[in-house]
A = this chain, B = another copy of it.
Amino acid sequence: MKAAILGTTGYTGMILLRLLCGHREVREILPGSSSQAGSPLMDVDRGLSRSIRAKTEKNGSRLLTTEEIAAAKPDVVFAALPHLASAAVCAPFFGNMPVIDLSADFRIKDPVLFEKTYKEKPPRPDLLEKAVYGLAEWSAPEIKKADLIANPGCYPTATLLPLLPLSRAGLLTGMVITNALSGVSGAGRSIKQTYLFCERSENTCAYGPGKKHRHQPEIKQGLDSIPGSALDILFTPHLVPLKQGMQVTTVAELRRPVTGGEIGAIYSEAYADKPCIELTAERIPETLHVRGSNRCDIGWHIEGDRIILLSVIDNLVKGASGQAVQNMNIRFGFDETEGLPLHGEI
């Protein structure tokens, strides 16, 4: 199987390269880059060992143009490109092979909401309906048949995974209050003053509070996917001095009194056969424990008529490239965790 990566030189592209290199069903990787096509892969990504050559030797282990990739007819395309730029670069591939798009270009189904959120019209409104929102644990049947998978954002992944089972069980009501912490890699490899080491080290800040962050509408859309849900959400993300990691703390109102055991039973049923979810119950999850892995760990605490949900992921793995590979696995009928690390760091 041949897998292409569009945008290999960003953080999500670099992670995809490592994951696909260890994937037993992928024999050939086609690493694309519009800005650095032609460069030897190992000059651009210096963490690679020469073992990468085994899967890239056909193209001289160098970065390829989109045209070269199209000519090589990959079996699957991963687009790790910026929002609003991705859809155009992917054009040659749509309809010819499954495309897994890590950008936001196909995540929001409603064109009006898309434009309100991204300040531009959706680049390919004709494909919005066809695109499957790839929250892997919730959409496997659709993903199996999808030709275009909109890989979810990191915040929506970490926020929705603990909320959806409880919402489906009819337990939640009112305004969900979510606070989230993200590692700096969530901003991608953008070269801006605010992401310099000296500006982020020993520093935290909130940004885009309430409904201002572009992931808020994506989360709301996910909450609305549960029939009968009337949940709304205030979402305040924060930047903390982590490289990779994301922590979400959500307070929701309960419709009726519940016990921790009841909550545990609902989660166990929802995620029993989902290898990328671990339930920590009363033990509180930590981001280090999922760093580098495709896991989401979920804990909870009940306080009167409210429940506090605690979830952690690696924003670049389960929050981006890992979930993309998980979606490929589901789409092609491979083992769901093939090529995906499940253990976190020590």
In angstroms, Cα B308 to Cα A46, docked, is: 21
| Chain B residues positioned under 8 Å from A210 (CB to CB) | 301, 303, 306, 308
A11-B198, A301-B209, A343-B51 given; A204·B181 CB < 8 A: yes
**Per-residue interface assignment for chain A, residues 41 to 64, with 1 indicating a CB less than 8 Å from any chain B CB and 0 otherwise:** 000011111111000000000000
Residue A238 at the B interface, CB < 8 A?
yes
Q: Does A68 contact B (CB under 8 A)?
A: no
8 Å CB contacts to B: which residues of A15-69? 15, 18, 21, 45-52
User: Which B residue sits closest to A11, measured CB to CB?
Assistant: B346
With A184-B197, A288-B202, A343-B21 given, is the CB distance from A251 to B275 under 8 Å? no
Q: Is the CB of A306 within 8 A of B206?
A: no
**Most chain B C-beta atoms within 10 Å of own C-beta, residue among A207, A247, A291:** A247
Q: Complex Cα distance A236/B300, Å? A: 12
Q: What is the distance, in angstroms, from A319's C-beta to the closest C-beta of chain B?
A: 14
Tell me whether A286 and B203 are in contact in the complex, defined as CB-CB below 8 angstroms, given that A177-B177, A184-B198 are known contacts.
yes
Task: Name A's B-contacting residues (CB within 8 A).
Answer: 11, 14-15, 18, 21, 45-52, 175, 177, 179, 181, 184-185, 189, 191-193, 195-207, 209-212, 234, 236, 238, 240-245, 247, 249, 251, 275, 278, 283-293, 295, 301, 303, 306, 308, 310, 312, 316, 337, 342-346
